[in-house]
Structure 1
Amino acid sequence: MRPEVRAFVTDGPLPDRDASEEEIGRRDRQLRSTARPVTGEEAKALVPCFGPDDCYGVAWTLMHLIETGPAPVPATAPGPDAHEWHQRLYGRAVFGGLIPRT
């Protein structure tokens, strides 16, 4: 795993909208500085990094980065109580024809 991805993952989930502008900007810069595409290992490691909301759009940046990986993550349907961003990732892969609906 590349150091920039490891650093992002180590910092944990994205903060919520109440975080400081500095913290949100720092996390956004971390994502944007990561060269695309990510590896399958990196994509899987990034999935738990979604926070409680869209973090002023940073969650979309995270989702798009994960989607550059070689295979859809998650590859199977998340449960009904799964995080909304995990459901979105799965739904986008299904609707994009990358994986069959399970």
Structure 2
Amino acid sequence: MRSEVQAFVADGPLPDWDAAEEEIDRRVGQLEVIAGPVTREEAKALVACFGPDDCYGVAWTLLHLIETGPNPVLTTDPGPHGNEWHKRLYARALNGGLIPGA
């Protein structure tokens, strides 16, 4: 796994809307230095970095970066209590025909 992905993952999930602007900017900077495509290992690690909300759109950037890697990353339904971004990744793979429908 590349060092820039390791650094992003090590800092954990994205902050929520209540985070300081500096923290959000720092995470955006970390994300911007990760060039796609990502490897399967990197994509699986990055999936753990979604926070509780869209972090002012940063979660969309993370989702698109994950999707540059081999898909699908999530092959099982995260269920009704799963993270909304995990549900979105799963639904996009399902709708794209990457995994069989239920």
The TM-score range, normalised by the shorter chain, is over 0.9
Alpha-carbon distance in structure 1 between the residues aligned to 2:20 and 2:99: 38
Alpha-carbon distance in structure 2 between the residues aligned to 1:101 and 1:44: 21
Q: Is the 8 A contact 1:77 1:101 kept in 2?
A: no
Aligned residues: 102
Query: Where does 1:12-23 land on structure 2 (aligned, <5 Å)?
Result: 12-23=12-23
- Residue 50 of structure 1 aligns to which amino acid in structure 2? F
Aligned match of 1:42: 42
Contiguous gaps of at least 5 residues in structure 1: none
TM-score (ref. length: structure 2): 0.95
Alpha-carbon distance in structure 2 between the residues aligned to 1:101 and 1:32: 33
Aligned match of 1:60: 60
How large is the Cα RMSD of the aligned pairs? Answer: 0.9
SS class of match (1:16)? coil
TM-score (ref. length: structure 1): 0.95
Alpha-carbon distance in structure 2 between the residues aligned to 1:73 and 1:101: 15
Shift of 1:93: 0.9
Shift of 1:10: 0.2
Runs ≥4 in structure 1, deviation > 3 angstroms? none
Give per-residue Cα distances to partners, 1:10-59, cap 9 Å, x unaligned: 00000001111111011111111101000000000011111111000000
Query: Where does 1:79-94 land on structure 2 (aligned, <5 Å)?
Result: 79-94=79-94
Aligned match of 1:101: 101
